[in-house]
Amino acid sequence: MNLTLLSMIAKFYSSRNWQGAILKLKDYSMLFQNSQKFSNKFNIGQKYNQY
């Protein structure tokens, strides 16, 4: 790890809006999970179309 990354992390944790940042991270992870579920459904649909 380089020092700039560590200082960025330190600024991130010391910022007063850290709760909002964590909520944003949770939103992004939810979006990612939903997109994965959607792509899985799409793949299943493609498999059925092949037969």
16's tokens: 């007063």
Report the pLDDT value the prediction gives residue 20, as an integer from 0 to 100: 77
Domain boundaries, the chain: 18-51
Report the pLDDT value the prediction gives residue 39, as an integer from 0 to 100: 78
Longest dimension (CA), the chain: 56
pLDDT (tens, 9 = 90+) of the chain, 51 residues, equals 578 877 877 777 766 677 777 788 888 888 888 888 877 777 766 666 665
> pTM score, two decimals?
0.40
Amino acid at 47: K
Report the pLDDT value the prediction gives residue 38, as an integer from 0 to 100: 78
